[in-house]
Structure 1
Amino acid sequence: MGKIQKLSLALVGLVLGASLVACDDGRSGAQDAAKQLASAVAALDVGSVAFDGKDSGQANDRLKAVFKALDPAKPTVAAGELKLEKDTATVPLDYSWKIGAGEWKYTVSAQLKKADGKWQTVWSPELLVPGLADTEVLGTSSDTPQRADILGAGGAKLVTYRPVVHVGIDKAQLEAADPAGPAGKLARLVGVDPAAYTKQVTASGPAAFVAAITLRQAGRTITDEQIAAIPGARAIPDTLPLAPTRGFARAVLGTVGEASAEQIEKSGGALRAGDTTGTGGLQQQYDAQLRGTSGIQVFAQTEGLSAEQRQELLNNGRRVLFQEPMKPGTALKTTLDPRLQQLAEDVLADVGPASAVVALRPSSGAVLAAASGPGSNGYDTALLGQYAPGSIFKIVDSLAMFRNGMTPDSKVDCPPTLTVDGRTFKNAEGYPASSLGSVTLRDAFAHSCNTAFINARGKVSQAQLESAATSLGVAVEAPSLGAAAFLGSVPGEAEGTEHAASMIGQGKVLLSPLAAAVMAGSVAKGAPVSPQLVLNPNAAAAGSPAPSAGPTAAPSSSAPAPAKSSGKPVTAAEAASLADMMRAVVTSGHADFLASVPGAPVGAKTGTAEFGKDNPPKTHAWIVAVHGDLAVAVFVEDGGLGATTSGPLLKEFLTSAAG
């Protein structure tokens, strides 16, 4: 290429570049400044923004003061279409705040000015909120609805607001006196740690009320006179959402208390300091439904007002910028029967190990009682426990055997012991010699002959066991329950000693007390029972997602996942044969102590399952029963034999329930 041609191209490029610069009206610079402003305001930090008429640091301090009441919320801010006129520009800023359950949206107009070749934002408090004056900041107020009740069968109030007193030291009443002495006396009176409480009182402010304990008004033994006798001590009346007693269905219902910092952080703005929220059980699962949503106001107020001035402003009306109305929670309806639940709690009151009583109505699947004993230490053994069921699983074995052509009158072989792949199985201690040898399936079931059922392993596959279990409503999901639960697991594959162990409810077979009651209930109903505890699981609080309609607890590492649905449902004829054999457990087997229970004839099955590595091994004690339209499972984790440990508990429950 010649020199003249190169020079021509260079001149063309120079002219073209000059024309592009000439056509630039400054819009891109203004747009960049507008985007920077929107991003900085959204971060609530405008320290890097150049302002006209305000130092950037002062503008940043002002912004933080204006929005302090909304902390920790931050807005999303978007810059709209910019309008340019020479060295000035205007741009709309669209704000959106998440305030409680609502969304506060507004638009302000930002002014930009070009000086010394740079675009700056013209400072105005109206950049932040429409109509905001230089001396104003935002304030908030909220109204929190009372928490909705948890109801039981027939609309009975299981959890409702009940009278309490907060007992503590009011330091304002002590004036300058040393609080240590009164604090120690009060701690000893109400039964809390004196050293810890005294330290808490001493460290609190001079006008603080420091609660030592909250007592139910009903039945409290510490009197107002005893409290008043201690200088500075007070009993402040209040109401709190409580069950009838401290332990009533506690593991199922959960508790209510002031939201922790962790709960507030995880709530995504739904909870604020001082709010009450559910912890554990149904209170946590359905917290949004029960809590409702607080009403909230955002308003403009003069900075630095005293409490009295703020109250006067409230009384005389204030400039409200945003308002979200309060929405009350929705009561949670459950099937729990207060009388039967309390009866179950009473039956387990003196049981040391983890334990449970579950009672349900087979005809509807309604869970009437789900009690976990004091030895469960707050764990929901009734619904979430995962335990080898032992011989109560022979109900499942028998159904599988019926489907292979047997009947209750079919003969089976019941030897004293049986060895499978080097492992010896035997019957429970005290097994009657008269029921050894060739006996009917009914007799083997009534006396719980382990060897007879293990002998059937060649004719009943593991897959057939799994299918029979799901036919009886266990080892499946529980979509209608409305609460976290474990409905059992039965592996579909097992061989040798593992399959033999499955035939007597051990190995990797696991049930919960709820699942055991479902299994027995399906026999009484003549069809699989689908348990139900919560009647309105989808009635979520407005503005909140509907709670899960029946999650299942994650199985342990040894438990296969539950089936999505049952196999071939148990038929009425199959259930009648199972009921016949369960009745024989009472009339001729080792649950004859249930014969005296009043009302309908009782059918039952006991179970004992070995666990651990002790010699002799520890055992889970089980018993299930059907009594009219009632199915009950009783479980004791470390309880010896089902008949001798869980049996008397069951008899006490059934006898009292029938009364």
Structure 2
Amino acid sequence: MSFAGERAVAGRRLVGGGIALVLAAVGLTGCSPEPPDPTSATEALAAALTSGDFTKAPFAGGAADVTAATAARTSAYEGLAPWQPTVTVVSTEVDEQDEDVATTTLGFTWDVDESDSDWTYETHARLARDDEDVWHVTWAPALLAPDLVAGEVLSVERTRADRANVLGAGGAVIVEPRRVHRVGIDKTKIAAPEQEAAARELGRQLGIDSDSYAAKVLGAGEKAFVEAITIRDGDPGYDLTALVGLPGVIEVPDTLPLAPTRQFARPILGTVGPATAEIIEKSDGAVSPGDLAGLSGLQRQYDAQLRGLPGLTITAAQADGAAPRQLYDVAPTPGTPLTTTLDVRLQEAAESIVATVGPANAIVAIRPSTGEVLAAASGVGGEGMSTATLGQFAPGSTFKVVTALALLRSGLTADSDTTCPTTVSVDGRSFSNFPEYPTDKLGTIPLRTAFANSCNTAFISARDQATQDALIDAAGSLGLDPNASLGFPAFLGDVPADSDGTDHAASMIGQGRVLASPLGMATVAASVAKGSTVVPQIVVPVEGAAAPEADDETSTDDPTETARAAVPLTADEAATLKQLMRGVVTEGGATFLQDVPGDEVAAKTGTAQFGEAGNLQNHVWMIAVQGDLAVAVFVDVGEYGSTTAGPLLEQFLRAAQG
């Protein structure tokens, strides 16, 4: 059917993607298909502006407009990379006087930072319908940004936000801007033929790779300053005056976010420095070349929270910078402080103690009532690794706290008899006690005596009363959760599920494939002190703060078991375990702790052999509780827990008393 006479449409309006028709039909004698509206054309245009692919854009000028639009968009937006806009159709209006003409409003959204606010604006496109009822768009640069004209490009200027401090217990400032000296070769201060020799000499003086640094100097621009090292103000390890006296060497004063000392919880807190190419690439525009960024540790994990949001000024100008127009401006938003539970005084005390020990070592202190980690110090023998929180070592006899819990759950009491022979054989393998085990504590002895004197053979002899599953449950009750997610890189402990025979026997005394970190064993002690399972905490979460970066160092390499239901630790169980640990101080291997000031101390020693037969060495441990303090001390290679780790523990407990 058809209209009688000419098409007579008095008005047509398309709003928000929908059409409202007002028909004033003259001589209407039937119906014909309604001419197409501009919806498909406007949606195609929005999609093209979003993607940059204009091949399907409904341009009136055809291929020529496609080429012009593609080139203009690439040029205009290049300075905003890697950002890209999302473009939607806001509304479309058909001219009330001419149904073949329409105007569409396009909404642009640019996600320019990590806040909930975006840069938004609108542009307008003119459309016309041809004789074949096809809608076409008139191309113009102003489709890309408000009032954009040919040759104009967009650019962004960033203003760095103030990086927030890292705080400790009680709001104490740990990491804050501190003076540093950037030392390097200024190529304008020395003749070109002498630059390589000068770079090598500076490298030699600093103990860095001279070949690499010399190549860096030679490859830099002729007026470049090529930094070799950043030195903390007052660092006694460097003679700044002597360094700047070398040919071509200068120092540039600056500030960097730093802890009180170079060693202060460094493996945990991490470092801050110029953003790497990898960090910049992964940031989706949030970090730019020259920005400071967290390079490791908590500084890296919580970088988004700490760095805040940069100030942004987006302008449109000719390619040569002429006639700039401001399109968007937002002030920088300072970062949000990262609050940790570290107690500055206790951390410094722990750092001073671990600094006296050559092999990898650690001291971890936890407040049992809250789970707050008060100190977590790692010695330099760990070569930069956080031995305190990520170390994975056999815990030796400190694990007997776990084994004792499993035995108590099997029906034993502290006074139940156990058998402590000189040796015990399991499937042909002989287990013995440590060489200086007291002979008067052999034979049939109560569990409390076997625990106090750390009788290996007594615990192994009781292996049938504590299955491997019972050990896993007991470990979980005391906080050794292999799947724990704590908000910071950490490993607590892991007890293998597939152990029997000699492997299960070794598990009973914390050897074989049982693993724990100093943080994990401090958690065990803390759980005993609290009377319920403790979950350690270093980072205090901030509501609404940016989510931390994922970190691959937060769990075991290959947990032996998926998450299983936790078995609660009861107050009575914990009380008995604490009595057993107190016995180690009153009658066992830690009597030297009896005169430590303050509340009475309960402890457990630990020694775990490792290495090849004939060349065995010992991991040595001690854990202790005193009032609302739980401590673990670990040394990678030592004599015994009581003789190597014990004195370090005593120093720390005395320091903790102030």
Class of the TM-score when normalised by the shorter of the 2 chains: 0.7 to 0.9
Residue 320 of structure 1: which of 326, 344, 348 is its match? 326
Gap change, CA 1:176 and 1:133, over 3 Å in 2 = farther
Name the CA distance, whole Å, in 1 between partners of 2:192 and 2:423.
Answer: 81
- The share of aligned pairs that are identical, in percent, is 46
The aligned amino acid for 2:107 is D
Residue 295 of structure 2: which of 272, 279, 300 is its match? 279
Gap change, CA 1:261 and 1:333, over 3 Å in 2 = same
Name the CA distance, whole Å, in 1 between partners of 2:371 and 2:67.
Answer: 66
- For residues 378-527 of structure 1, what are the structure 2 equivalents within 5 Å? 378-475=384-481, 481-491=486-496, 494-527=499-532
Gap change, CA 1:39 and 1:406, over 3 Å in 2 = closer
- For residues 192-591 of structure 1, what are the structure 2 equivalents within 5 Å? 192-220=208-236, 222=238, 225-305=241-321, 319-475=325-481, 481-491=486-496, 494-535=499-540, 537-541=541-545, 544-545=546-547, 553-557=554-558, 559-561=560-562, 563=564, 565=566, 567-571=567-571, 573-591=572-590
Gap change, CA 1:221 and 1:558, over 3 Å in 2 = closer
Name the CA distance, whole Å, in 1 between partners of 2:401 and 2:243.
Answer: 59
Name the CA distance, whole Å, in 1 between partners of 2:178 and 2:397.
Answer: 44
What is residue 13 of structure 1 aligned with on the other side? none
- Cα shift at 1:135: 4.5
Higher mean C-alpha displacement, 347-356 vs 600-609: 347-356
Q: Helix, strand or coil: the match of 1:333?
A: strand
Query: How many residue pairs get matched?
Result: 622
Gap change, CA 1:46 and 1:404, over 3 Å in 2 = closer
- Cα shift at 1:562: 5.0
1:630 aligns with 2:629: yes
Q: Helix, strand or coil: the match of 1:419?
A: strand
Gap change, CA 1:564 and 1:556, over 3 Å in 2 = farther
Name the CA distance, whole Å, in 2 between partners of 1:115 and 1:459.
Answer: 90
- Cα shift at 1:176: 6.8
Name the CA distance, whole Å, in 2 between partners of 1:223 and 1:618.
Answer: 40
Residue 66 of structure 1: which of 76, 79, 82 is its match? 76
The aligned amino acid for 2:125 is A
Name the CA distance, whole Å, in 2 between partners of 1:464 and 1:196.
Answer: 56
Name the CA distance, whole Å, in 2 between partners of 1:206 and 1:375.
Answer: 41
Gap change, CA 1:45 and 1:179, over 3 Å in 2 = farther
Q: CA deviation digits over 1:69-104, x for unaligned, max 9? A: 101212222346655657655433332222123422
- Cα shift at 1:392: 1.1
Higher mean C-alpha displacement, 43-52 vs 597-606: 43-52
**TM-score normalised to structure 1 length:** 0.85
Gap change, CA 1:476 and 1:178, over 3 Å in 2 = closer
- Cα shift at 1:177: 7.0
Q: Helix, strand or coil: the match of 1:529?
A: coil
Q: CA deviation digits over 1:311-347, x for unaligned, max 9? A: xx8xxxx632123332211111111112222222222
Q: CA deviation digits over 1:254-297, x for unaligned, max 9? A: 22222222222222332222222223322122222111111212
Q: CA RMSD in A?
A: 3.3
Name the CA distance, whole Å, in 1 between partners of 2:479 and 2:559.
Answer: 21
Higher mean C-alpha displacement, 516-525 vs 107-116: 107-116
The aligned amino acid for 1:39 is A
- Cα shift at 1:59: 4.4
Name the CA distance, whole Å, in 1 between partners of 2:370 and 2:212.
Answer: 51
Gap change, CA 1:553 and 1:562, over 3 Å in 2 = farther
The aligned amino acid for 1:553 is T
Gap change, CA 1:539 and 1:258, over 3 Å in 2 = farther
Gap change, CA 1:199 and 1:152, over 3 Å in 2 = same
The aligned amino acid for 1:656 is A
The aligned amino acid for 2:532 is A
Higher mean C-alpha displacement, 173-182 vs 145-154: 173-182
Gap change, CA 1:228 and 1:579, over 3 Å in 2 = closer
Gap change, CA 1:139 and 1:51, over 3 Å in 2 = farther
Name the CA distance, whole Å, in 1 between partners of 2:601 and 2:300.
Answer: 37
What is residue 50 of structure 2 aligned with on the other side? 42
Residue 122 of structure 2: which of 104, 107, 112 is its match? 107
Q: Helix, strand or coil: the match of 2:574?
A: helix
1:93 aligns with 2:106: yes
Gap change, CA 1:584 and 1:484, over 3 Å in 2 = same
Higher mean C-alpha displacement, 90-99 vs 149-158: 90-99
Name the CA distance, whole Å, in 1 between partners of 2:471 and 2:249.
Answer: 65
**2:82·2:284 contact (CA, 8 Å) conserved in 1?**
no
- Cα shift at 1:526: 3.3
Structure 2 gap ranges (5+): 1-31
Q: CA deviation digits over 1:345-402, x for unaligned, max 9? A: 2222243433221111223322111112222222222122232222111112223333
Name the CA distance, whole Å, in 2 between partners of 1:495 and 1:137.
Answer: 71
- Cα shift at 1:241: 0.6
The aligned amino acid for 2:224 is A
Q: Helix, strand or coil: the match of 2:493?
A: coil
What is residue 16 of structure 1 aligned with on the other side? none
**1:477·1:563 contact (CA, 8 Å) conserved in 2?**
no
The aligned amino acid for 1:570 is T
**1:485·1:551 contact (CA, 8 Å) conserved in 2?**
no
What is residue 27 of structure 2 aligned with on the other side? none
Higher mean C-alpha displacement, 507-516 vs 461-470: 461-470
Name the CA distance, whole Å, in 1 between partners of 2:269 and 2:603.
Answer: 29
**TM-score normalised to structure 2 length:** 0.85
Name the CA distance, whole Å, in 2 between partners of 1:274 and 1:647.
Answer: 48
Greater fraction helix: 1
**1:330·1:540 contact (CA, 8 Å) conserved in 2?**
no
**1:538·1:547 contact (CA, 8 Å) conserved in 2?**
no
Name the CA distance, whole Å, in 1 between partners of 2:634 and 2:573.
Answer: 26
Name the CA distance, whole Å, in 1 between partners of 2:296 and 2:565.
Answer: 26
- Cα shift at 1:424: 2.0
**1:540·1:547 contact (CA, 8 Å) conserved in 2?**
no
Name the CA distance, whole Å, in 2 between partners of 1:175 and 1:416.
Answer: 77
